[in-house]
Structure 1
Amino acid sequence: MKIFRLLFIFLSLPLFAQQGGMWIPSLLEGMNEAEMTNLGMKMTAQDIYNLNNASLKDAVPHFNGGCTSEVISKQGLLLTNHHCGYSQIQSHSSLEHDYLENGFWAMSLKEELPNPGVTASFMVRIEDVTTQVMNGITEAMTEADKQIKIEENIANVVQSSPKEAWQENRVRTFYEGNQYMLFVVETYKDIRLVGAPPSSIGKFGSDTDNWIWPRHTGDFSLFRIYADKNNRPAEYSEDNVPYTPKHFLPISLDGVAEDDFTLVFGYPGTTDEYLPSVAIEQVINTINPARIAIRDAALAIQDKYMRADPQIKIQYASKFARIANYWKKWKGETLGLTKSNAVGIKKQQESALTSQINKKGKQQEYGQILPQFEKYYTEIESYALAREYYLETVLRNVELLRTAYQAYQLKQVYDNRGAQSFEDRRNNMVERLEGQYKDYSKQVDEEVFEALIALYAKGVPQQFLPDSFKNMNAQQLTDKVYKNSAFVDYASVKNLLEGDAETVIAKLNSDPGFQVVKDMADAYFEKVAPKYEELELNISGLERDYMKALLELSPKDARIFPNANSTLRVTYGKVAGYSPADAIYYEPVTHLEGVMQKYVPGDYEFDVPQKLLELYKAKDYGQYGENGKMPINFIGTNHTTGGNSGSPAIDAYGNLIGLNFDRVWEGTMSDYYYDPALSRNIMVDIRYVLFIVDKYAGAKNLIDELMLVHPKKEKRKSKNRKK
């Protein structure tokens, strides 16, 4: 009886947990639609995803491949987070026109700013292609042979599936390789900046408040999609016109209250909800501590210089935010996994599953999965640790090393593909680096290099270190590199890369910065990567079989959702507060009063613009306030992750009530384990967005584009009419 109870808890979660999960929008009819209706939704599944008619999916594009956005007007006006548009806002900023500091507002279409390379991609159609992708796969094949055949089948599906000339076919895997779906996508490439509040609003609280509740951040920015005269995707052109959407989101002015239904639509990046307990233990005890230590060091140095120098603050604003984001997330993730006893709960679930395998006589098929997980995760730990140190040091946090690594790849291109490929890659690299060095400080990077190279030499298992790193003096190596390497400024790098392939490679081999990267990369690719990839392939095969066992042995009504993989998903829940610790309860809505309580004049993170102070003092909130207060942020039980930044928060009727931008610190472990008591997503109240656009910026041209509605008031009027 005890075993059955555990399995039931594991595979058929209680009613409150209906608010977790990331669901495929084309498969909502049935269980999901019933759950959403139970939670208060007044729409149908067809209103959310409809192949033949306009639906919510047509208003929710993937923003630049990393965030989500929503179309909010019939002229293609696009809303996303301030931090999603941060790089574009920064790229248009200078000391003379500092849009990060002062904000930017286009008062006409002519004032909107182009952003080369930025995209907005709409999902047109979803289709299950599992049968085609798995054609020819047999149990007798090795994991490597299975992957080769699967990739071949995917290529055939992508090539043969119908689409329009301007569209693209993509196939993505679900349930760890047990299901494959085709996505038909169309991508718009002319995306212009329309509006952004100053960072003191859009990034209020900055890194101190990141992942924290209560929150008071106006994290939004506005763009516009442009299309050719046929409303189809086109590269930037002055002849392009605002995009006419199939659907755009009306905006509710009625606000939110505890227990209101919320639907978040977007492109969550990556989750691993079905990792075994041994993997979660490795994240808590080995992987996250290494990541956090490296970023601790890098961020402390960057922060010191940013606070002292306004130019460096502009140069490093976007980089610092990117590094700090996951640094703090990993800290909260470890805290949440520990607090929620995720490892212990997963061990109970695994014990229950083992008993069910034995009961069903499935030992030969599934009986070795959990012991094999234990074996492979034990083997991979030292390789995974070395890999994290390499990625964090070379590719993510030391700019000189990252640039030198691009040169290392350039040499590989020549060795493997010849001179013409070298020329093409080199020319692209030289062009790309010009913009990169615009935001580079040798002084900052040198100090980061010294700190991180010392951590690398100490933290990487000794058997994986380059010979040159054994008994290495970090200060001496740093002095040598930053005094003599060409990678410390653009002109030197450009000169370094001039000449034919053999000349460039000879110069590279003599550069001390390149020599460091070459030693690190050679050691990594010879000693770490091959074995890591071999073990990871075996683990992936086990994960597929583990998921197959869960799907096969679960009750028919079990709520087993696929992990996030940057495809369009629906997550639903309710506005709800939570209790992070004993005797503490957080209300679900914050107000402008909280900004003023945190206000520190002149502070890097908590300054407040004078205009906002005046509006607050006068209580001049227009139609956007409620009971004399200005709502700012609210939280809900929606299951979100990276990639959901900018996702629309939609009410029971299909109207926009906010946009997602973060999670609470205690709930960041939801990428591995969703706990309904702690997991909360953080959203900007759409009324605060409108208040800033209208009352603060005076951009009434943008307000006039929108469809503003009062669904709750209309519902009450309808009831009164019936009486």
Structure 2
Amino acid sequence: MISKRIVAFFAAACLSLGLTTAGPDEGMWLPLLLKQLNESDMQKRGFKLTADDIYSINQSSLKDAIVQFGGGCTGEIISSEGLLLTNHHCGYGQIQSHSSVEKDYLTNGFWAMNRSEELPNPGLTATFIVRMEDVTKQILEGTGNAKTEAEREAIVQRNIAKVSEQATAGTHYNTVIRPFFFGKEYYMYVTETFKDIRMVGAPPSSIGKFGGDTDNWMWPRHTGDFALFRIYAGANNEPTDYSPNNKPYKPKHHLPISLSGIKENDFTLVFGFPGRTNEYLTSHAVKELYEVSNPAKINIRETKLNILDKDMKASDAVRIQYAAKYASIANYWKKWIGENRGIRKANAIEKKQQLEKQFAQWVAADPARQQKYGNLLADFEKNYKALEGITISRDYITEAAYGVELINYANNFVRLQEMVDSKAPQQEINALLDRTEKGAAGFFKNYNAPSDKKVFAALLDLYYKNIDAKMHPEAFKTFAQKYKGDFAKYADDVYSKSALTSEAGVKKLIADVRAGKTASLKADPAIQLAASIGAYYRTNVLPTYTSVNDNLSLLYRNYVAGLREMQTDKKFYPDANSTLRVAYGKVEPYEPLDGVKYNYYTTLEGIIEKAETGAAEDYAIPAKLKELYEKKDYGIYGVNGEMPVAFIASNHTTGGNSGSPVINANGQLIGTNFDRNWEGTMSDIVYNPEQVRNISIDARYMLFIVDKFAGAGHLVKEMTLVTDNTSGLAQVDARSKEEAKPAKKETRKERKKREKKEKAELVN
């Protein structure tokens, strides 16, 4: 979906796209522009291929093995049979959805031993990029006459719809058109989305989530964060809905996997779909983030996590219901903590201020520049000042109020109530009722009202106490009078009277509305509270928020233009916006603290050490893994008596790069990206080459777990494993040609010899 406004500094819905100048290993580059901007530099750093080997529309290239997985992660194709590799945490929702107390795939893992055992996942998609195109001229046509940002954006959206329709007419393709450089440029991605994605394999959480929240965002890391899926296609190898008759997708390219491993200073390339970065925020925005927004969100999420943690430990059913939710909440909670540490360590606010001072001096030196850019910095300060109080109100609404599942769910019924009150056409009301009724089962499958009730009392208490009373929704005034500030009593009342705390209650409420009985809809306390919070937001937060960010959109567009004019010798790269990007760097250790230096890789020995000395909850391991360690039974995947597990490199990554392949100089897979180091999480705002590292599972550890631990060697056999430095593209082409040859008829003598060999292997 195309973002309509540049939102200044909100981490979850902030700048649609920004810009920064690139330093060593910094940057998330557009595949289409690699030849002119990056190819020479990449080859100087050791890359053996060309920009065309990475991105081409005329021949198979690395891009043909990369997918956007489920809309929020990246995955890579690792076999000619559509086998897809991504992170365990990217597939966590699917693993959880297939799990139950009886079949606990979260705890025990899952491995399909044949194609019939692979599990379908309704709603899960895998999207390839067919091609990219610069469509700036078409999208900006007519915008010169716009008097406001809103008018300009309306024209842009109309042009986007027109260009998209033209690009996909007569095809099964879709398009994504996004703004670059704050709307100075627009690029179109033509996409192909597959909808039959089946779960093939996932290690137990004691491997896939080894280290838990203790190790999240940390290095050294020992997590086997991977999962395997498979893309299925119709008879013509094109996307289609799930059918048992579908066949494994035949990709244009799949990544060969290197068994040669990594060493310090090796070239690395990360190819994926980074989500959001904000590298070009001004100092005003970073200060607000550091001093106000992040601390508030950290406190809210920590409060919620503590409640859920206790309930999940007390009940296996609740643990399975909330496993994916807990992981999602915890992920950004810890990220924001690290981000603030990194901002402080990098002196990010001061550096932003220094750049702004340099810009002001450059502007002041020329009358023409003064005319174009003279008021920019003052206007930034004025607009960010106008957001004081608005930012924190929005944070508490999104994180605290809507962090309560009942309130968030009740928003569906607020809309229903509005439609009933306005006497909307019955057809529209029925359509909403149908959607709500259909989604109820899914919601309540993973909902526990007693846990949510505790969250309600705790988070609304924070909202009530930490936000000025002038910025409270109307319902809080009623609450203060009736419950005397006791949110536990308020929670008792709401959860005992609301129909929305159970699937049966929701179905009855829907049935009543269908029958024309709307009194219970209007009287429901959860719906009343959600309506009050929503009304406050629309009346007191959204108008200022929208107006200011319309202003900021234009300011940032002009500021970026000025910086590019000022720094003509610099290469600029756009902020991440969930479009396909290339980042490159090298395998490299780092020093997080004075006197401390971290190695660039970890091994299975570190897992055993943590299991023996660390917290039992996060560092428990399967008995078989320890047995393989003690026997040093690593197969062809170990090296010098060690089993490599993870490694770090200096690639510039962010959320959305989870699951991205880490590729060596020859186009071979060496790992799968799954995290950043804690000290480097501020790279979404400012890149510090001394501290920023991406963390990846070593491909050899993935193979070891699949083959030696899980006994799913049949999956390894369909992969292309290599030990030499030949181009990965050439290796895959050679294998594809070999597989395409007609099978040679086996003689009786050859058959007997083969059967004897197979029998011996089975005995051994």
Alpha-carbon contact 1:464-1:524 (below 8 Å) kept: no
Indicate the larger mover: 512-521 or 56-65: 512-521
SS where residue 698 of structure 1 aligns?
coil
Q: Which residue of 2 aligns with 1:99?
A: 105
2-structure distance, mates of 1:219, 1:426: 40
Structure 2 gap ranges (5+): 1-18, 729-764
Structure 1 pair 394–569 and aligned structure 2 pair: CA distance change class (3 A): same
Q: Which residue of 1 aligns with 2:385?
A: 378
SS where residue 687 of structure 2 aligns?
coil
2-structure distance, mates of 1:501, 1:328: 45
* Large movers: runs of 4+ above 6 Å: none
Q: Deviations over 1:511-546 (max 9, x none)?
A: 111121111111111111121111111111211111
Structure 1 vs Structure 2: percent identity of aligned residues?
49
Q: Which residue of 2 aligns with 1:145?
A: 151
> Would you say 1:453 and 2:466 are equivalent positions?
no
SS where residue 615 of structure 1 aligns?
helix
Deviation (angstroms), 1:357: 2.1
Q: Which residue of 2 aligns with 1:5?
A: none
2-structure distance, mates of 1:661, 1:504: 51
1:636 is aligned with what amino acid?
Answer: A
Which residue among 606, 609, 620 is the counterpart of 2:619?
A: 606
Structure 1 pair 562–489 and aligned structure 2 pair: CA distance change class (3 A): same
Deviation (angstroms), 1:308: 2.0
Alpha-carbon contact 2:20-2:280 (below 8 Å) kept: no
Which residue among 125, 140, 145 is the counterpart of 1:119?
A: 125
Alpha-carbon contact 1:693-1:699 (below 8 Å) kept: yes
Structure 1 pair 602–104 and aligned structure 2 pair: CA distance change class (3 A): farther
Deviation (angstroms), 1:394: 3.3
Structure 1 pair 177–413 and aligned structure 2 pair: CA distance change class (3 A): farther
Structure 1 pair 90–714 and aligned structure 2 pair: CA distance change class (3 A): closer
SS where residue 78 of structure 1 aligns?
strand
Which residue among 423, 427, 431 is the counterpart of 1:420?
A: 427
Counterpart mapping for 1:373-412 below 5 A: 373-395=380-402, 397-412=403-418
Structure 1 pair 505–461 and aligned structure 2 pair: CA distance change class (3 A): farther
2-structure distance, mates of 1:108, 1:123: 29
Structure 1 gap ranges (5+): 1-9, 716-723
Q: Which residue of 2 aligns with 1:254?
A: 260
Q: Which residue of 2 aligns with 1:719?
A: none
Counterpart mapping for 1:187-266 below 5 A: 187-266=193-272
Q: Deviations over 1:53-98 (max 9, x none)?
A: 0000010010011100000000000000000000100111111111
2-structure distance, mates of 1:12, 1:670: 13
1:499 is aligned with what amino acid?
Answer: D
SS where residue 35 of structure 2 aligns?
coil
Deviation (angstroms), 1:161: 2.3
> Would you say 1:41 and 2:53 are equivalent positions?
no
SS where residue 497 of structure 1 aligns?
helix
Compute the TM-score of the two structures, normalised by the length of structure 1: 0.94
2-structure distance, mates of 1:11, 1:467: 43
> Would you say 1:640 and 2:653 are equivalent positions?
yes
SS where residue 702 of structure 1 aligns?
helix
Q: Which residue of 1 aligns with 2:548?
A: 535
1-structure distance, mates of 2:37, 2:29: 11
2:291 is aligned with what amino acid?
Answer: N
Q: Which residue of 2 aligns with 1:567?
A: 579
Compute the TM-score of the two structures, normalised by the length of structure 2: 0.89
Alpha-carbon contact 2:667-2:727 (below 8 Å) kept: no
Q: Which residue of 2 aligns with 1:682?
A: 695
Structure 1 pair 417–380 and aligned structure 2 pair: CA distance change class (3 A): farther
Counterpart mapping for 1:662-677 below 5 A: 662-677=675-690
1-structure distance, mates of 2:117, 2:515: 48
1-structure distance, mates of 2:513, 2:446: 29
2-structure distance, mates of 1:589, 1:220: 17
Structure 1 pair 230–383 and aligned structure 2 pair: CA distance change class (3 A): same
Deviation (angstroms), 1:473: 2.6
2-structure distance, mates of 1:577, 1:267: 25
1-structure distance, mates of 2:111, 2:213: 25
2-structure distance, mates of 1:28, 1:242: 32
Indicate the larger mover: 656-665 or 704-713: 704-713
Q: Which residue of 2 aligns with 1:110?
A: 116
1-structure distance, mates of 2:145, 2:379: 17
Structure 1 pair 481–61 and aligned structure 2 pair: CA distance change class (3 A): same
SS where residue 193 of structure 1 aligns?
strand
Q: Deviations over 1:431-471 (max 9, x none)?
A: 11212211211221111110001011122332221233143
Which residue among 546, 570, 577 is the counterpart of 1:558?
A: 570
Q: Which residue of 1 aligns with 2:362?
A: 356
Aligned pairs, how many?
A: 701
Deviation (angstroms), 1:11: 7.8
Which residue among 506, 511, 514 is the counterpart of 2:519?
A: 506
Alpha-carbon contact 2:49-2:727 (below 8 Å) kept: no
Which residue among 593, 606, 624 is the counterpart of 2:637?
A: 624
Q: Deviations over 1:682-719 (max 9, x none)?
A: 1000000000000000101101100001135999xxxx
> Would you say 1:436 and 2:443 are equivalent positions?
yes
> Would you say 1:585 and 2:597 are equivalent positions?
yes
2-structure distance, mates of 1:304, 1:475: 18
Indicate the larger mover: 437-446 or 646-655: 437-446
2-structure distance, mates of 1:416, 1:354: 56
Counterpart mapping for 1:283-298 below 5 A: 283-298=289-304
> Would you say 1:76 and 2:82 are equivalent positions?
yes
1-structure distance, mates of 2:20, 2:365: 16
1:576 is aligned with what amino acid?
Answer: E
Deviation (angstroms), 1:381: 2.4
Structure 1 pair 499–183 and aligned structure 2 pair: CA distance change class (3 A): same
1-structure distance, mates of 2:620, 2:334: 22
1-structure distance, mates of 2:558, 2:170: 36
SS where residue 499 of structure 1 aligns?
helix
> Would you say 1:696 and 2:709 are equivalent positions?
yes
> Would you say 1:491 and 2:497 are equivalent positions?
no
SS where residue 169 of structure 1 aligns?
strand
Alpha-carbon contact 1:163-1:169 (below 8 Å) kept: no
CA RMSD of superposed structures (Å): 1.8
Which residue among 327, 330, 339 is the counterpart of 2:333?
A: 327
2:100 is aligned with what amino acid?
Answer: S
Alpha-carbon contact 2:78-2:85 (below 8 Å) kept: yes
Which residue among 539, 553, 556 is the counterpart of 1:526?
A: 539
Alpha-carbon contact 1:394-1:405 (below 8 Å) kept: no
> Would you say 1:165 and 2:171 are equivalent positions?
yes
Which residue among 369, 375, 383 is the counterpart of 2:376?
A: 369
Q: Which residue of 1 aligns with 2:27?
A: 21
SS where residue 536 of structure 2 aligns?
helix
Indicate the larger mover: 470-479 or 526-535: 470-479
Deviation (angstroms), 1:559: 2.2
Q: Which residue of 2 aligns with 1:721?
A: none
Indicate the larger mover: 204-213 or 438-447: 438-447
Structure 1 pair 274–80 and aligned structure 2 pair: CA distance change class (3 A): same
Q: Which residue of 2 aligns with 1:53?
A: 59
